[in-house]
Structures are given as structure tokens and as C-alpha cells.
Amino acid sequence: MPLTLPSPRLRGEGEQAPRDSMTQNNLLSVDDALARVLRDARLLGVEDAALAAARGRTLAGDLVARRTQPPVDVSAMDGYALRAADLARGPVTLVGESAAGHGYGAALAPGEAVRIFTGAPVPVGADAILLQEDADAAEGLLRARPGASAGAHIRTAGLDFHEGRAAIAAGRRLGPAELALAAAMNHAILSVARRPRVALIASGDELVPPGAEPGPSQIISSNNFAVAAIAESAGAEVIDLGIFRDDLAELERAIGLARDAQADVIVTLGGASVGDRDLLRPALARQGMTLDFWKIAMRPGKPLISGRLGPAHILGLPGNPVASIVCALVFLAPLIRALQGDPDAGKDQTERAIAGADLPANKGRRDYMRAQLVTDAEGRLIATPQPMQDSSLLTELAQSQALLIREPGEPPLPAGAPCRIWRLQG
Ligand SMILES: Nc1nc2c(c(=O)[nH]1)N[C@H]1C(S)=C(S)[C@@H](COP(=O)(O)OP(=O)(O)OC[C@H]3O[C@@H](n4cnc5c(N)ncnc54)[C@H](O)[C@@H]3O)O[C@H]1N2
Ligand code: MOO
């Protein structure tokens, strides 16, 4: 269908703020683009979540311990609680037992010992535990086996945490360790960030959903599945609005649906570039988007759109599948984290590795090269870029464990030289 409406000129198009660092192509750098995406991203709201349903949620405030753990000194081993000095002098008298949840209930007199189990309270007066493997107990008397002695196998009260102290900071994502710690601190209900609602709009006449009977020049829409997975992993609730035709009215309808769904982030997939059928910018503009930037110094991912539409954040991801996915990792996931109050949302996630192949000089965009990652015999991480780096290649991406990052204008990188990588999670 021929384009009949002229693309409205969008605020910010072609004019970037002077404080941003530009590459030689006069494109906004990835770091500046990320800073701009995160600039107004704040905690959206707070709600309660039962502990059992809080996995993956983000803490809205510091979580303070409601008790001390362990509450009293407890044994770390099964054995006998006693005074180490008494045992060194000869046999001691067994006077009772301390089990987890049922302490001995009295102080230990000199020359006395009690049978004790892991996690059981250590009676007052005892300063050591003789492991049961190291003990001979008979007729109420206890001796250390030859060569063995009692040791300090005691977990002192508060070894793990103290009542009143903050043990998990606001903005922290609740994984298995944090959930267990919150439970141990006696929190049944947690105050967590509201999940950002992310609406996905795929656009393209060629796209059909998986399971359909595609025509000869049609392809299956795949980007939405990867982007949804990335968004959900970052804590979002995803509303996949489906596939829309390359038609201005149709795309405006899609944006309207995203607004009706009260999306906090509207993510469009494809239609971001300069072709006559790349209609997302005009459609977003007609719906009232304020464009912040379009086109950045990134490969893959140059035609990234960022802006605001009322309270919603807009991210227009490029259609090429690898570009969509890399842009979602670099921009969408941090945005979702920031909207949940994570102070580290924009933190550098790269790490050092060694280049596994000679690489030519890089041109004007930061390059995220799909790479295989191995650990060599000396324990060094070696990142070797895939032979083909076209941004349509999902197979190469799925066979990669990392993105090897090249800076704009970087000189040739010889094999063996240090480089930076971004690990791809499974
Ligand atoms: N003359 C120029 N052409 C292009 C430029 C440019 O600067 N000048 N930039 C190129 C770059 S870089 C990219 S990236 C792409 C991005 O284009 P669009 O965002 O407009 O994406 P589409 O044209 O809609 O699609 C590109 C490609 O991706 C496939 N696609 C789209 N959506 C999906 C989906 N949901 N699932 C799977 N695959 C999808 C689509 O079929 C196309 O093959 O533009 C370059 N061109
Ligand atoms: O950014 Mo495009 O992804 O280079 O193909």
C-alpha cells in the first residue's frame, strides 16, 4: 500500500542535545541513550505480596529482621556439649540432652556434658562440642577418643542476622536466597514494587503467529517471544497485543489498545527504520508521542525509538530479530528494573574476557557481536565471535553464550587481547 500521509516531523529527530556524546556518524552513543531511557524511570507503585508469591518481585523498602538468628547459641554438629578444659583432664559426666527446639534447660556444672544435636541450644557453661564420631560414651561417662578433642562448633546468637537490622536492601530482586532470608526474618508478607505492565506490538504484513500456515513470503513472528521473556525476567507483566499490519490506522489502533491496557511501557517490534512501510514513528507521533531519540550508534539496533506517550515509556525496537533481542537486553530490561526502584538498573553488566579471534577495526557503532564463550586451561574466559553476524540470524544467537562488545572506532583487536563481554543467560 503506497504511503499517502507524510511522516510528521518529530521533536528531537535529527537534533540531539549537545551534552550527549556523539559518535563519528553523529549518532547518540549507547550509554547516553540508556541514560536517557532511564532518566525519568521511577518506582511505579508499591503493593503487598505473600512470601510464597514473591519470587522475582523487587523489594520496595529495606527489609528489617524481626528476630535474631540463631536466637541463642546453637550447636553446629551432633555430639556432646561441654567445657573443653574439663574433657582435657579426663572423662566427664553425661547429665542430659539438648535437641533442636528442646534445650537442656539448665546451666552445665563443671565436669558435666550433655548429648546435643545440630541446631540445639548450647547450655550455659559449655564452650565446645565433642563430635559424636570422636567420643566414647559408656555408663554415663564421656571420653574423647585418642587424638580427638572438642572444638568450637557453636553458632553464636545473631551469627546470621540481628533483630532490627536491615538485611535486604530496597530495590533487590527476590530470588531463592532472598526469599529464604525474608522467611527466616519472620516476614510473611512483603512490600514489593508493582510490576511494570509492558505491552508488545508486532508490526509487519509478512508476520504470522507460530502454528499458522505461512504464505510463500511470510515469516513467523518470533521477536515478541524473546522480548516477552526478557521483560518477564526483569519483573514485568507482559501483554502481547499481537501482530498488526503495516498500516498507519492499524498501528494507531494498536497503540490505543496499549494505552487502554494502561501499559507503563509500550514496546513496538519492527517498522522502526526508514522504509516507506516503517510506520511506527508516524503512528506513535499521531497518537501524541514525544520522541526523545531515534537511531543510535549500536549494531545491531541502530533504529531504536525512545519517547513518552503520556505516562507510558515508548521503546520502538528494530525488526531484525537479533537487533530486537539485543536492544531489549540493553534498554528494555534496565527500564523495567528502574520502574521497580532498582538503583542499579543501569549498572554496567559487562565483564572482562579474552578475544578468541583476530577482529578488524570497528566502525562507527558499538558492536554487540554474538560470541561463543569457553574457559581455557588457565581458567581464562575466551570469547570467539560467530563467523556470521547478520542481525537476522537467530541460530547464531542461540549458539552464543555472550556478546563481545566493540566500541565505535576501536582499532583491530588481535586474538588473545582483552575485551569486554556481556553474558547471555539461558
Ligand atoms: N536504507 C536503510 N535500510 C535499513 C536501515 C537503514 O539505516 N537504512 N537500517 C537497517 C537496520 S540496522 C535494521 S535493524 C532494520 C530495522 O528495520 P525495522 O525496524 O523497520 O524492521 P522491519 O523492516 O519491520 O523488519 C526487519 C526484518 O525483521 C523481520 N521482523 C520484523 N518483525 C519481526 C518479528 N516480530 N519477528 C520476527 N522477525 C521480524 C522482518 O520480517 C524483516 O526481515 O532496518 C534496516 N534497513
Ligand atoms: O541494527 Mo540493524 O540490527 O544493524 O540490522
Predicted complex ipTM exceeds 0.90:
yes
Q: Which residues surround ligand 1 with Cβ inside 6 Å?
A: 202, 204, 206-207, 219, 221-224, 269-275, 278, 300, 302-303, 318-321, 323, 391
Distance separating alpha carbons of residues 381 and 169, to the nearest angstrom? 31
CA of 302 to the centre of ligand 1 (A): 10
Q: Could you tell me if the CB of 366 is within 6 A of ligand 2?
A: no
Rounded to the nearest integer, the mean pLDDT of the chain is: 93
Interval between CA 38 and ligand 2 midpoint (Å) = 22
What does the pLDDT look like over 34-56, one tens digit per residue?
999 999 999 999 999 999 999 99
Confidence of residue 158 (pLDDT cuts 50, 70, 90): very high
How does pLDDT run across 160-196, given as a tens digit for each residue? 999 999 999 999 999 999 999 999 999 999 999 999 9
Phi-psi region of 334 (alpha: psi -120 to 50; beta: other; left: phi over 0): alpha
Q: How many CA atoms lie within 13 A of 73 on its CB side?
A: 15
Ligand nearest to the CA of 241: 1
Distance (angstroms) between ligand 2 centre and the Cα of 389 equals 10
- Of all ligands present, the nearest one to the C-alpha of 277 is 1
pTM for the full predicted model: 0.89
CB of 365 shorter than 6 A to ligand 2: no
> From the CB of 300, is ligand 2 less than 6 Å away?
yes
Q: Which of 305, 320, 392 to probe ligand 1 with, by most ligand atoms within 8 A of CB?
A: 320
Residue with CA at minimum distance from ligand 2 atom 4: 300
Q: For residue 199, what is the enclosing H or E element? A: strand 197-203
* pLDDT digit string, tens, across residues 95-107: 999 999 999 999 9
- Distances from the Cα of 345 to the Cαs of 62, 72, 263, in angstroms? 17, 39, 20
Q: What is the pLDDT of residue 275?
A: 83
Contact 365, 300 (CB under 8 A): no
Containing H/E element for 336?
helix 333-338
Establish whether residue 282 lines the binding site of ligand 2, counting it when its CB lies within 6 angstroms of any ligand atom: no
Would you say the CB of residue 391 lies under 6 angstroms from ligand 2? yes
